Amino acid sequence: MMSDLSTDYPNLPKHLAFIMDGNGRWAKERGLSRTMGHRRGVRAVKNIVKAALKYKIPYLTLYAFSTENFNRPPAEVSFLMKLCTRSMGKYKKFFIKNGIKFLMIGSVDRLPKELQLAIGDLRDATETFSELTLIVAINYGARAEIIDAIRGIVRKKIPESGITWETVADHLHTRGLPDPDMIIRTSGEKRLSNFLLLQAAYAELHFLDTYWPDVDEKTFIEVLREYARRNRRMGIVQR
C-alpha cells in the first residue's frame, strides 16, 4: 500500500530507468518463440507503468530498443517495431485517462514510418499531462546521443569558454528531464550497454535476476525498498 511505503521509505525515487532484458530467455525456457517473450514483455511494461502511477514515481524510463538491436534478425526487428507501434495505439486511451505524458528518446531516423507516426501522435496527445512522464528509449544509444549533442553545440557556435555541463545536458535527448535516481537491469546481466551513460553519473545501479516478462508490482515494490535502503546508508555516511 502507498501509505506503508511512504511511511517506511520517505525517500522515494523521482526517476527510475529500466533496461528491459530477458524476453528471449524467458520464452526459450518455456519452449515458446522469442516473439511470445516480447508480447509478454509488453504486459510487464503495463504492470510497471501502473505501479509507477500507484506509488507516485513521477518519471519512468524504459529501454525498449537499442541502436545495436538493429543487428538482430530482420524478422525479429520488424516484429518489435510492429509491437511498439501497436502498443502505442492500443494504450493511448490508458495514457490519456491516467494523465501520462509520453516522450521518446533515441533517433527516429531508421524507424518505420508507422512507428514514427505513432510516436508523434502519442506525444502530441499527452503533452499537457504530468501525473507520470514515461520516456521510452527506441533506437537509442548513449554514444549516438552524445554525438548529437556535440553537433548541436557546434552548430550553434557556442564559444568554448561558455560550455558547461548544463550546455551539454541541454543538448542531450533527455533535456529538461531529471537524471535517473536508479537504473535497474533485469535478467542477470550486469552492464549498462550504452544506456543513459552521462545521466547515470550518480545513479544507483540495481541488477535483478528476474526476466523482464516476470516483472510485476511486487518487483517494483522491491526496487523501491532497495532504493530506500541505499539512500538510508548514504545518509549515515554523510552524517
Residues 196-235 within binding reach of ligand FPP (CB under 6 A): 212
Of 38-46, 50-58, 94-102, 196-204, which segment contacts ligand FPP by CB under 6 A? 38-46
DSSP result, 197-221: TTTTTT-EEEE--S-GGG--HHHHH
Q: Which residues have C-beta within 8 Å of that of residue 30, sequence separation ≥ 6?
A: none
Which residue is at the shortest CB distance from ligand FPP?
A: 24
* Contacting residue, 84, 119, 203, 215, with ligand FPP by CB under 6 A: 84
Question: Distance between CA 208 and CA 196 in Å, rounded?
Answer: 18
Per-residue burial over 23-60, b if 16 or more Cβ lie within 10 Å, else e, is: bbbbbeeeeeebbbbbbbbbebbebbbbbbbebebbbb
Looking at 11, 69, 194, 231, which residue is catalytic?
69
Q: Is 92 in the site for ligand FPP (CB under 6 A)?
A: no
Of 23-31, 50-58, 141-149, 155-163, which segment contacts ligand FPP by CB under 6 A? 23-31
Helix (H, G, I), strand (E, B) or coil at 66: strand
Question: Distance between CA 107 and CA 99 in Å, rounded?
Answer: 25
- Phi first, then psi, for residue 74 (nearest 5°) are -50, -35
* Contacting residue, 9, 15, 21, 135, with ligand FPP by CB under 6 A: 21
In angstroms, what CA-CA distances link 239 with 91, 202, 229, 232? 46, 19, 16, 11
In eight-state DSSP terms, residue 99 is T
Closest CB to ligand FPP among residues 20, 182: 20
Q: Is 41 in the site for ligand FPP (CB under 6 A)?
A: yes
CB of 134 to ligand FPP, least distance (A): 8
Active site residue 214: no
Helix (H, G, I), strand (E, B) or coil at 18: strand
Residues 111-170 within binding reach of ligand FPP (CB under 6 A): 136
CB of 20 to ligand FPP, least distance (A): 5
Q: Is 38 in the site for ligand FPP (CB under 6 A)?
A: yes
Binding-site size, ligand FPP (CB under 6 A): 21
Active site residue 69: yes
CB of 213 to ligand FPP, least distance (A): 8
Q: Is 104 in the site for ligand FPP (CB under 6 A)?
A: no
Q: Is 20 in the site for ligand FPP (CB under 6 A)?
A: yes
In angstroms, what CA-CA distances link 44 with 30, 82, 119, 184, 216? 17, 17, 20, 14, 6
Dihedral sign (CA 58, 61, 62, 64): positive
List residues near ligand FPP by CB under 6 A. Answer: 20-25, 38, 41-42, 45, 62, 64, 69, 80, 83-84, 87-88, 136, 187, 212
The set of catalytic residues is: 21, 69
